[in-house]
Structure 1
Amino acid sequence: MNNEMTDGWWKYARKVESPNCDERPGDEVSLLVLHAISLPPGQFSGSAIEALFTNRLAVEDHPFFSEIAHLCVSAHLLIRRDGECVQFVNTDQRAWHAGRSQWWDNGLKEQRRTLNDFSVGIELEGDDITPFTKAQYQALVKATEWLIARYPRLNASRITSHAYVAPLRKTDPGPAFDWAYFYQLLTARRLDAL
């Protein structure tokens, strides 16, 4: 087995380690949660997302930052607008991305909580109203393929949104995320690999 499959750090991502993670209670990884983030809200590029996920957000840089600087959050991966991938947490570890959330597991026929225990979180740089870029979709598909190959219980039916698992708190990745296009790309690449 090559290093890409045995190591929870994706070789196509720039590594920026976050302290906002810990060990999973088991070895299950069976859910992918998609998020969207922009800092400051509605603005893209810059270093604020990386600063937030590494507990280095400077509150003096923007008024909004004082509202969130106390948070200890992270995601496994961030996909920037140009398609660049940044990885903050080894996928074998628990990143702190889903918060209070729940998800109906069809396989187990039960409602599950503490989703961070068994999920991978991917943040897309964006918001609810701005269309995501083709480069982001392409990078997301590649990352998803890697995760599905790495974790046998993860498949296309076990991909969800932050809005779906925390509907009273979150809206991301929002209506600007084109689920049909994402699944079309994912299916096409998987068929090409056969």
Structure 2
Amino acid sequence: MENKQPFDGWWKSARKVVSPNCDSRPTGEVSLLVIHAISLPPGQFSGHAIEALFTNQLVVDEHPFFAEIAHLRVSAHLLIRRDGECVQFVDTDQRAWHAGRSCWWDARQAGWRRALNDFSVGIELEGDDVSPYTRAQYDALIEAVVWLLARNPQLDSSRITSHAHVSPLRKTDPGPAFDWAYFQQRLGSRLER
């Protein structure tokens, strides 16, 4: 078994911006990766609003939509921007608040699991359901997943899912614009090296 030091789950390739919206994992298990998408304001890319949301610093006067979400206390482990820049908000050994009400069929346990934040890593892609994701984002996502797989023995490429899959009545992200076949082909090729 891998000898991990607690709270060393900061990816060296990511810019670190610490979110207070996290806590300890109940069992230390990391066995699921959930891919999300976010744009703030909706449909707009770049800017500081995502980082402000994840650090509880969103300025409600900057856009009418912000008043609707400023009360939220949410985070993700990683954000991958349109240009491929990675920002990490939460140590992957800790629980980020990203999945919300959700459930997932765990074939290993032959049962439904809830409280997915307890054992998952959340990666946000800066995007929406309709805008194609960039090559730089896929490149960065592949590298982040390779890093996560290397440090989490309970995680494998079959345990990667979408927010839409685990919360189908509430969420649609990363949406039809995310090319799962391309991502899986690229990840498979990268893991074969």
Q: Same fold (TM over 0.5)?
A: yes
1:37 paired residue number: 38
Q: Deviations over 1:60-81 (max 9, x none)?
A: 0000000000000000000000
The question of 1:70 aligning with 2:71 is answered yes
Secondary structure in structure 2 of the residue aligned to 1:136:
helix
Q: Deviations over 1:121-172 (max 9, x none)?
A: 0000000000000000000000000000100010110000000000000000
The question of 1:179 aligning with 2:180 is answered yes
> Residues 159-174 of structure 1: matches in 2 within 5 Å?
159-174=160-175
Deviation of residue 27 (structure 1)? Answer: 1.2
Structure 1 unaligned blocks of 5 or more: none
Q: What is the CA–CA distance in structure 2 between the aligned matches of 1:9 and 1:43, rounded to whole Å?
A: 28
Q: What is the CA–CA distance in structure 2 between the aligned matches of 1:66 and 1:143, rounded to whole Å?
A: 32
Q: What is the CA–CA distance in structure 2 between the aligned matches of 1:104 and 1:59, rounded to whole Å?
A: 38
2:10 paired residue number: 9
Q: What is the CA–CA distance in structure 1 between the aligned matches of 2:187 and 2:40, rounded to whole Å?
A: 28
Q: What is the CA–CA distance in structure 1 between the aligned matches of 2:65 and 2:183, rounded to whole Å?
A: 31
Taking only aligned residues, the RMSD between alpha carbons, in angstroms, comes to 1.7
Secondary structure in structure 2 of the residue aligned to 1:34:
strand
1:151 paired residue number: 152
Secondary structure in structure 2 of the residue aligned to 1:188:
helix
2:116 paired residue number: 115
The question of 1:18 aligning with 2:36 is answered no
Secondary structure in structure 2 of the residue aligned to 1:74:
coil
1:27 paired residue number: 28
> Residues 27-106 of structure 1: matches in 2 within 5 Å?
27-106=28-107
Q: What is the CA–CA distance in structure 1 between the aligned matches of 2:190 and 2:36, rounded to whole Å?
A: 22
Q: Report the count of equivalent residues.
A: 192
Secondary structure in structure 1 of the residue aligned to 2:139:
helix
The code of the aligned residue for 1:181 comes to Y
Deviation of residue 28 (structure 1)? Answer: 0.6
Q: What is the CA–CA distance in structure 2 between the aligned matches of 1:21 and 1:13, rounded to whole Å?
A: 18
Q: What is the CA–CA distance in structure 2 between the aligned matches of 1:61 and 1:48, rounded to whole Å?
A: 9
Deviation of residue 191 (structure 1)? Answer: 1.1
Percent identity over the alignment is 74
The code of the aligned residue for 2:161 comes to T
Deviation of residue 51 (structure 1)? Answer: 0.1
1:189 paired residue number: 190
Structure 2 unaligned blocks of 5 or more: none
The alignment's TM-score, normalised by the length of structure 1, stands at 0.96
The code of the aligned residue for 1:141 comes to I
Secondary structure in structure 1 of the residue aligned to 2:190:
helix
Q: What is the CA–CA distance in structure 2 between the aligned matches of 1:8 and 1:153, rounded to whole Å?
A: 15
The question of 1:124 aligning with 2:128 is answered no
Q: What is the CA–CA distance in structure 1 between the aligned matches of 2:59 and 2:169, rounded to whole Å?
A: 29
